Amino acid sequence: MIRWKSILVTTLLMVLPLTACETPAPTPPANSQAPSSPAATTSRLETVKSRGKLICGVDGGIPGFSYVDQDGKYSGIDVDVCRAVAAALFNDPNAVEYRNLDSTERFTALSSGEVDMLARNTTWTISRDTSVGLEFAPTTFYDGQGMMVRADSGIKTLKDLQGKSVCVESGTTSELNLTDNLRKQAVEAETVTFQQAEPAYAAYAEGRCDGITSDKSQLVARRSNLPNPEEHILLEVTMSKEPLGPVTINNDSAWFDAVKWVTYALIEGEELGITQANVDEMKTSTDPTIKRFLGIEGDLGKGMGLSNDFAYNVIKQVGNYGEVYDRNLGEKSQFKLPRGQNDLWTNGGLLYSPPFR
Amino acid sequence: MVDQKNQKIPIWRDERFWRIALQVLAVVIFVGIAALLIGNLNRNLAQQGNNLGFGFLKNEAGFSISETLISYKPKDPYSQVLLAGLVNSLRVMILGIIFTTIVGILAGIASFSENWLLRQLNRIYVEVVRNTPLLLQLFFWYFVVFFSLPKPENKIELLGSIFMSKRGIAIPWPANTVTVWLGLLVLGMGGVVAVFIWRWRNQLMTEKAQSGQPQLIALIMMAIVSILIIIFALGWQAPKALATGGTEGGLNLTLELSALLVGLVFYTGAFIAEIVRAGIQSVPKGQWEAAKSLGLKSGLVIRLVIFPQALRVMIPSLNSQYMNLAKNSSLAIAIGYPDLYAVSNTTYNQTGRPVEVFILIMAAYLSINLIISLSMNLLNKTVQIKER
């Protein structure tokens, strides 16, 4: 009898907390059912500000974009975007903690809140923007997918890859574009997929694959790390468009706005001719556009929860987009990549910032 | 009445009360934590505008994988690519468990060898492999051992039918035709019949003191016939070298599969060797002496007396090694073999549904390991001491 009673009591008590836990549960989702109202939950912007430093997800292995050198120092265009955001928030470009993420980890790390933002060669696509639940800040590098092969392999076009094998990093748009392009041309090639870039490039270097595919800029950067860079060529094909830019999580417009307008500030700074060197003189400029941009007039920064002179801090600490590009990928770097599409719209490129007004 | 009331023990000292109360407390804590976690997950997903659901499995996957045993094209849905990954995983697990058992038993027995050199080599193998990380070993096999094979243009050719290059190892393999399957069916049935004849022969020899000669001759005849079937009726296809550097026909084992398989087999084999050694050492010395005093040769001593008793100790530990092998096979992703974990990784990355995909991965590995465990427990029952 005692046993039956105890079972009865136990089940009763088991159900009780269940209902007890169920009743308060609907209230918090009811709040977050309307996620468009940012007041319901704390914005990541406040979290980052109170933490006092930015946690930025980067690749860490691509020279020119984000690369850790022997002293553990990060450099590259993606790293400079992180530094610009930190400069805007804290007036200190070094208040950044970097996390190296591989291509399959990155979105989970972002949505779980492990990193505040990604600046990690991430291609802006509709499915990532919508169903994966990300927000894409303005493109900082317009790229296209290429194919690298050995110069002595005789491969000239994608058709020549019939029966050959191609190495690719998993979880990237490159993986999908490769499949699409091979399907379109009815080429049967083996694709060998690696989770991380290092084994993929090692497998290519060792001759496991006849070709390796990725964004062109990345191929150029990685080629510089191969044993004999001059033995490898890029095919004259562009398999896709790859707009790369910083990423934040969906439904947090306060934080997204901050990252978006810091990125635009880099571009606008170049357009207005404000550089790291002349930013202090520019403060005395009579041009109202420049005055507003640098926070002498108006309160553009306050409106989004930053200081009014956030753009001044960004340019002062990191430089404008042109300086960032030259330092990492352009004339002053080992790659000497021409600006091409990554020039201001006034110079025939694609970079265009909406007005700071 | 009053006395009885006084004698009633207070509730906090009643063991029956605590027995129930502690259980209830445990349930409340468990349900509370689970509700907290699930509520948290729901809130976070709602904030991102995502809801749990498996509808995405019907969408087109759009990525290709380097090898598959079942038919898969990039236009197939995610469910198909996950299935292909599962089959690839099972392939590695099944082959791995078979080969690692052989390697482990051989290495375990070698530790009792009278040959000093063999004993020492075995010891080095076990200690080095057992005490270094598996991932490191996989990289070693993949990048150092298998990548030392030549480029496809100048592949190694053995006996005109085995080709080895960076594109893989091509070996002769039966073609997929009706006659082959018929041949395999005949072989399988022959195997069953042979077991029965062997038992019948043993029974005749022990209970009726017959010689067992006619049955032995029948078994030898069956063996000869099955060898002939294996050689001629299975339609072995030798791979042919192609001008593009690849091969055609036969079975092409890719470097990724080979490296993963070899890595897992030798890694787990080292642990199994220790289990076998422990099992054999657990058999009392008296059993060896008794068996020897009956005049059995040392091979027969191990096979008939020691090993059956050692198995009782070995099987429970073998079980966990097999499960380890199954789980470790998910390291395939590091060297580019498209197993379940690797394709799931791409899937959740593309669809942005890590929670659902991870539930699927966990369910798959859990069921595989439960099946391994179940079959090992059944095996365990058959070798335990039968008390009559």
Task: Kindly give, in sequence order, each residue whose CB lies less than 8 Å from that of residue B93, ignoring residues fewer than 6 positions away.
Answer: B325, B326, B329, B368
Flag if B351 and A33 touch (Cβ within 8 Å).
no
Whether B267 and B346 map to the same domain: the answer is: yes
Q: What percent of chain A has pLDDT over 70?
A: 89
Whether B266 and B361 map to the same domain: the answer is: yes
CA distance A115 to A121: 15
pLDDT of residue A4: 56
Whether B17 and B87 map to the same domain: the answer is: no
Put simply, whether A22 touches B (Cβ < 8 Å) is yes
Answer yes or no: same fold for A44-141+243-347 and A144-241. yes
Longest Cα–Cα distance in chain B: 104
Residue B73 lies in a domain: no
User: Could you report the per-residue pLDDT of A41-92, keeping only the tens digit for each?
Assistant: 788 999 999 999 999 999 988 889 999 988 989 999 999 999 999 999 999 9
Q: What percent of chain A has pLDDT over 90?
A: 51
Whether B274 and B351 map to the same domain: the answer is: yes
Which residue from A minimizes the CA distance to B335?
A194
What is the rounded average pLDDT for all residues in chain A? 86
Of A145-154, A221-230, B205-214, B257-266, the range with the lowest mean pLDDT is: B205-214
Residue B34 lies in a domain: yes
Whether B323 and B221 map to the same domain: the answer is: no
Flag if A14 and B64 touch (Cβ within 8 Å).
no
CA distance B338 to B158: 28
Q: 51-70 in A: which are within 8 Å (CB) of B?
A: none
First-to-last alpha carbon distance for chain A, in angstroms, is 79
Highest-confidence range of A285-289, B164-168, B210-214, by mean pLDDT? Answer: A285-289
Residue B216 lies in a domain: yes
pLDDT of residue B349: 83
Look at strands A165-169 and A190-194 and give their pairing: parallel
What is the rounded average pLDDT for all residues in chain B? 87
Of A8-17, B246-255, B331-340, the range with the lowest mean pLDDT is: A8-17
Q: Contacts of residue B166 in chain A, CB cutoff 8 Å?
A: 206-208
Is the pLDDT reported for residue A38 higher than 60? no
Flag if B336 and A194 touch (Cβ within 8 Å).
yes
Q: 93-132 in B: which are within 8 Å (CB) of A?
A: none
Look at strands B156-158 and B162-165 and give their pairing: antiparallel
pLDDT of residue B359: 93
Across B344-371, average pLDDT: 91
CB A339 within 8 A of CB A330: yes
Q: Contacts of residue A128 in chain B, CB cutoff 8 Å?
A: 352
pLDDT of residue A29: 39
- In sequence order, what are the beta bridge partners of B35? none
Output the CATH code of domain A44-141+243-347: 3.40.190.10
Across A265-288, average pLDDT: 93
pLDDT of residue B245: 62
Between A and B, how many residue pairs show a Cβ–Cβ distance under 8 A? 157
Q: Which of A160, A135, A124 is nearest to A38 (CA)?
A: A135
Is the pLDDT reported for residue B25 higher than 60? yes
Q: 194-213 in B: which are within 8 Å (CB) of A?
A: none
Whether B377 and B268 map to the same domain: the answer is: yes
Whether B322 and B281 map to the same domain: the answer is: yes
User: Could you report the per-residue pLDDT of B49-103, keeping only the tens digit for each?
Assistant: 677 888 888 988 888 888 888 888 888 999 999 999 999 999 999 999 999 999 9
CB A251 within 8 A of CB A90: no
- In this prediction the pTM is 0.79
Put simply, whether B335 touches A (Cβ < 8 Å) is yes
Give the CATH superfamily of A144-241.
Periplasmic binding protein-like II (3.40.190.10)
Is the pLDDT reported for residue A33 higher than 70? no
Whether B186 and B296 map to the same domain: the answer is: no
Put simply, whether A212 touches B (Cβ < 8 Å) is no
pLDDT band at B237 (very low <50, low <70, confident <90, very high): confident
Flag if B350 and A192 touch (Cβ within 8 Å).
no
Model ipTM value: 0.73
Is the pLDDT reported for residue B28 higher than 70? yes
pLDDT band at B161 (very low <50, low <70, confident <90, very high): confident
Put simply, whether B155 touches A (Cβ < 8 Å) is no
Is the pLDDT reported for residue A7 higher than 80? no
Put simply, whether B260 touches A (Cβ < 8 Å) is no
pLDDT of residue B114: 83
pLDDT band at B162 (very low <50, low <70, confident <90, very high): confident
pLDDT of residue B388: 65
Which residue from A minimizes the CA distance to B256?
A192
Which residue from B minimizes the CA distance to A171?
B346
What is the 3-state secondary structure of B195-263?
Answer: HHHHHHHHHHHHHCCCCCHHHHHHHHHHHHHHHHHHHHHCCEECCEECCCCCEECCEEECHHHHHHHHH
Q: Contacts of residue B350 in chain A, CB cutoff 8 Å?
A: 127, 132, 171, 176
Which residue from A minimizes the CA distance to B165?
A208
pLDDT of residue A84: 96
Is the pLDDT reported for residue B196 higher than 60? yes
Q: What is the DSSP string of A185-220?
A: TT---EEEEESSHHHHHHHHHTTS-SEEEEEHHHHH
Across B246-272, average pLDDT: 88
Across B213-224, average pLDDT: 86
Most B CBs within 10 A among A11, A18, A104, hence the mutation to make, goes to A104
Residue with tokens 């319901």: A40
pLDDT of residue B81: 93
Among the partner-chain residues A132, A191, A199, the one whose CB lies closest to the CB of B334 is A199
Residue B67 lies in a domain: no
| Number of domains comprising chain B | 3
Residue B141 lies in a domain: no
Across B250-264, average pLDDT: 90
Residue B151 lies in a domain: no
Of A333-337, B2-6, B103-107, B294-298, the range with the lowest mean pLDDT is: B2-6
pLDDT band at B271 (very low <50, low <70, confident <90, very high): very high
CA distance A318 to A266: 9
Put simply, whether A20 touches B (Cβ < 8 Å) is no
Burial class (CB in 10 A: 0-12, 13-18, 19+), A12: exposed
Put simply, whether B17 touches A (Cβ < 8 Å) is no
pLDDT of residue A149: 94
pLDDT of residue A3: 57
| Distance (Å) of CA B133 to CA A266, A290, B225, B327, B331 | 46, 58, 46, 14, 11
3-state secondary structure of B295: coil
Put simply, whether B16 touches A (Cβ < 8 Å) is yes
- In sequence order, what are the beta bridge partners of B158? B162
User: Could you report the per-residue pLDDT of A172-218, keeping only the tens digit for each?
Assistant: 888 889 988 988 888 888 888 888 888 899 999 988 899 999 999 88
Residue B115 lies in a domain: yes
What's the number of CA atoms in the CB half-sphere (13 Å) around residue B188?
6
Residue B53 lies in a domain: no
Question: Which residue range(s) make up the domain with B12?
Answer: 2-48
Looking at residue B311, which CATH number applies to its domain? 1.10.3720.10
Whether B259 and B231 map to the same domain: the answer is: no
Higher pLDDT, B176 or A111: A111
What's the number of CA atoms in the CB half-sphere (13 Å) around residue B223?
9
CA distance A108 to A91: 29
Is the pLDDT reported for residue A34 higher than 50? no
Which residue from A minimizes the CA distance to B166?
A208
- Domain-wise residue ranges, chain A: 44-141+243-347, 144-241
pLDDT band at B277 (very low <50, low <70, confident <90, very high): very high
Is the pLDDT reported for residue B358 higher than 50? yes
Is the pLDDT reported for residue A303 higher than 90? no
Flag if B39 and A25 touch (Cβ within 8 Å).
yes
Q: What is the DSSP string of B65-131?
A: -S--SS---TTSBHHHHHHHHHHHHHHHHHHHHHHHHHHHHHHHHHTT-S-HHHHHHHHHHHHHHHT
Most B CBs within 10 A among A42, A130, A206, A210, hence the mutation to make, goes to A206
Q: Contacts of residue A195 in chain B, CB cutoff 8 Å?
A: 333-334, 342, 345
pLDDT of residue B101: 94
Among the partner-chain residues A9, A35, A191, the one whose CB lies closest to the CB of B20 is A9
Whether B11 and B103 map to the same domain: the answer is: no
Put simply, whether A35 touches B (Cβ < 8 Å) is yes
pLDDT of residue A9: 57
Flag if B346 and A193 touch (Cβ within 8 Å).
yes
Q: Contacts of residue A170 in chain B, CB cutoff 8 Å?
A: 333, 342, 345-346, 349
Put simply, whether A162 touches B (Cβ < 8 Å) is yes
Phi/psi for B163 (5° steps) reads: -120, 135
User: Could you report the per-residue pLDDT of A245-265, keeping only the tens digit for each?
Assistant: 999 998 899 999 999 999 999
